[in-house]
């Protein structure tokens, strides 16, 4: 996929799934229906606060490299350890997440590897456009949980995007009233925007903005779509 094409689709609230692009507005979880809100970070407005600087200092002894994405046993083994420690659903393998049986990756994907000595302790996969970077996967060794390596990988991806003079970093979506995805706000709340799928505009992030979008999305859906869900 051409970089400018990826830039365009990301700007319209689409995202990579396997070897395709998709978008969604709702997410069913445990017989409840939640609204989805796509995020991006305006890199020109990005700055580190005390939490971000503390995390960078905590992990400064690690070494990091970026390479073209290729499936390796080392990546799959790390992901298997990560997957065994989490409490939410996730694809069985990196291959299932990224390729799903495809023999060719149509995206310009790279992997950021974090090592403690010779040991691979975290990996973050991302797609590059002409002016954008989209974070796709982050996973890490469970023994390094105190290092918040998922958040650390987001900061490293942003650092790389800034070095490439990109305009936006896309971390995916959060889900209103479902905090498991709120970590995507960690890098810099002031630089974060939320996509309004009703107008096609990106708005400065605030919980009031997201709440209003959620209310509008729910209001616009026909009642019969919600019959199987427990809605307040």
Q: Which domains does the chain have, with CATH numbers?
A: 3-226 (3.40.630.30)
Q: Quickly state the pLDDT bin for 224 (edges 50, 70, 90).
A: low
Q: How many C-beta neighbours within 10 Å does residue 222 have?
A: 7
> Hunting for tokens 């390596």 — which residue is that?
149
Q: Residue 225's pLDDT is what? A: 62
Q: Give which of 17, 16, 2 is closest to 100, Cα–Cα.
A: 17
The alpha helices in 102-199, defined as continuous H runs, are 149-163
Pairing of β 20-22 and β 15-17: antiparallel
> Hunting for tokens 């989490």 — which residue is that?
86
Query: Residue 133, SS3?
Result: strand
Query: Is the Cβ–Cβ distance between 64 and 114 less than 8 Å?
Result: yes
- The per-residue pLDDT for range 167-190, each reduced to its tens digit, is 999 999 999 999 999 999 999 999
Q: Residue 230's pLDDT is what? A: 62
- The per-residue pLDDT for range 50-76, each reduced to its tens digit, is 999 999 999 999 999 999 999 999 999
Low-confidence winner among 5-9, 34-38, 89-93, 228-232 (lowest mean pLDDT)? 228-232
- The per-residue pLDDT for range 136-169, each reduced to its tens digit, is 999 999 999 999 999 999 999 999 999 999 999 9
Q: Residue 72's pLDDT is what? A: 97
* 229: DSSP letter: S
pTM of the model as a whole: 0.94
Query: Residue 224, SS3?
Result: helix
- Return d(Cα 141, Cα 135) in angstroms, integer: 19
Q: Give which of 157, 187, 220, 162 is closest to 39, Cα–Cα.
A: 187
Q: Name the average pLDDT for the chain.
A: 95
Does residue 227 or residue 69 have the better pLDDT?
Answer: 69
CA 170 vs. chain centroid, Å, equals 7
Query: Is the Cβ–Cβ distance between 45 and 190 less than 8 Å?
Result: yes
- The per-residue pLDDT for range 80-118, each reduced to its tens digit, is 999 999 877 889 999 999 999 999 999 999 999 999 999
- The per-residue pLDDT for range 183-214, each reduced to its tens digit, is 999 999 999 999 999 999 999 999 999 999 99
């Amino acid at each position: 996929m051409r970089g400018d094409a990826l830039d365009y689709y990301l700007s319209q609230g689409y995202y990579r799934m396997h070897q395709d692009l998709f978008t969604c507005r709702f997410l069913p979880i445990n017989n409840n229906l939640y609204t989805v809100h796509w995020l991006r970070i305006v890199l020109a407005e990005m700055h580190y606060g005390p939490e971000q600087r503390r995390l960078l200092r905590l992990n400064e002894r690690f070494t990091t490299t970026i390479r073209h994405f290729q499936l390796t046993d080392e990546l799959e083994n790390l992901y298997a350890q990560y997957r065994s420690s989490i409490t939410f659903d996730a694809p069985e393998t990196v291959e299932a997440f990224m390729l799903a049986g495809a023999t060719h990756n149509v995206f310009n994907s790279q992997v950021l590897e974090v090592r403690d000595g010779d040991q691979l302790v975290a990996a973050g996969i991302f797609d590059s456009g002409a002016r954008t970077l989209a974070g796709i996967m982050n996973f890490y060794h469970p023994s390094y949980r105190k290092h918040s390596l998922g958040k650390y990988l987001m900061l490293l991806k942003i650092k790389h995007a800034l070095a490439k003079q990109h305009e936006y970093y896309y971390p995916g979506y959060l889900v209103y009233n479902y905090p498991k995805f709120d970590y995507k706000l960690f890098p810099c709340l002031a630089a974060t925007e939320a996509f309004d799928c009703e107008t096609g505009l990106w708005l400065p992030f605030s919980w009031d903005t997201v709440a209003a979008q959620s209310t509008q999305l729910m209001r616009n859906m026909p009642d019969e779509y919600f019959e199987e869900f427990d809605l307040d």
